[in-house]
Structure 1
């Protein structure tokens, strides 16, 4: 199983980084997981800003040479893990910029004249691990589940990825946030993950 972890947080002392370590520990103890790559967008100095003009067209982004490394990572991965905080009800701008650039027409999907395009990333699965200051149920009741709708429907289903699992943890700046238990839960998920549970 090939796993790509896309980590998005500027601080390696953060709780998000602790979740990354829990995921890595679980993967290391899982004999079905042989290959893991970590893409730390801040360490990578990934440029999330889209720039287009006369010489650089948005329709050609799928073959941008500067993004070839990242396209190869996504093509290689069978399971993609996104680890990030929730800021203002959605993922950080750095991750959204990565999505804007990488999930491009010609690479992630292809227009076919129908209501929805043909997804070109079929067969892959995704796990989203996110943390936030507010209560766990805040996005569901106050924001109409905007975060999960954005990631599952507007992005992953659009490009052909139907298997999406969320770990969405709230109250993470509280001393009562049960941080260790939540990290342990994620760790055990990856420790027990196998080829038959890719849809989990």
Structure 2
């Protein structure tokens, strides 16, 4: 199986990077092919411009967008690994979605106005960290809101079947033992679903 891991954290020593390493090793141990797109390391241009929009409309997809679309097209599973900042995706990952999951590639409108999900057949996994305790996010409905916007509003909208969305709260406050437990959950999730 071909896996695309889209990673969005600027600190190479972050817990998110430990999640990326754990994910990669768990998949490779099972013989899966893994491609990592580290958006900060790539210095990915997250700004969708009017020039991009005109080029996409005319079928002249800019090279940096086309390259990422090729990775997505070739993947059986797409995993987003990112911190939740201001109750959403980091700007660089949101910009990746804006530019790469474009009309005509990830979705289209049918003749009767219906949404055509052009990435149907692919699986998706999301792994999010945040500083707020998970029970607070649960009690105020934030976890459900995050699932609705990312799982439903991005992945499902394009036809990507979400197999799981892991949320890890209180990451800056917990001890190493708790973080090791989180990483074990990441490894187990990949073993279970793939």
Task: Please give the TM-score of this superposition, normalised by the length of structure 1.
Answer: 0.87
Any residues of structure 2 matched to 1:1-200 within 5 Å, and which? 1-31=1-31, 33=32, 35-53=33-51, 56=54, 59-60=57-58, 63-144=61-142, 145-176=144-175, 178-194=178-194
Gaps of 5+ in 1: 195-200
Q: Deviations over 1:70-96 (max 9, x none)?
A: 010000000011100011111101000
* Shift in Å, 1:47: 0.2
Mapped contact 2:56–2:62 kept (Cα < 8 A): no
Gaps of 5+ in 2: none
Mapped contact 1:30–1:190 kept (Cα < 8 A): no
Mapped contact 2:107–2:119 kept (Cα < 8 A): yes
Paired residue total: 192
Q: Distance in 2 between matches of 1:127 and 1:7?
A: 12
Mapped contact 2:52–2:62 kept (Cα < 8 A): no
Identify which range, 109-118 or 77-86, moves more after superposition: 109-118
Distance 1:55-1:10 versus aligned 2 partners, 3 A rule:
closer
Identify which range, 164-173 or 40-49, moves more after superposition: 164-173
Task: Please give the TM-score of this superposition, normalised by the length of structure 2.
Answer: 0.90
Q: Distance in 1 between matches of 2:3 and 2:41?
A: 19
Distance 1:160-1:54 versus aligned 2 partners, 3 A rule:
closer
Report which of the two has the higher share of helix: 2
- Name the structure, 1 or 2, with higher relative contact order (CA <8 Å, separation 6+): 1
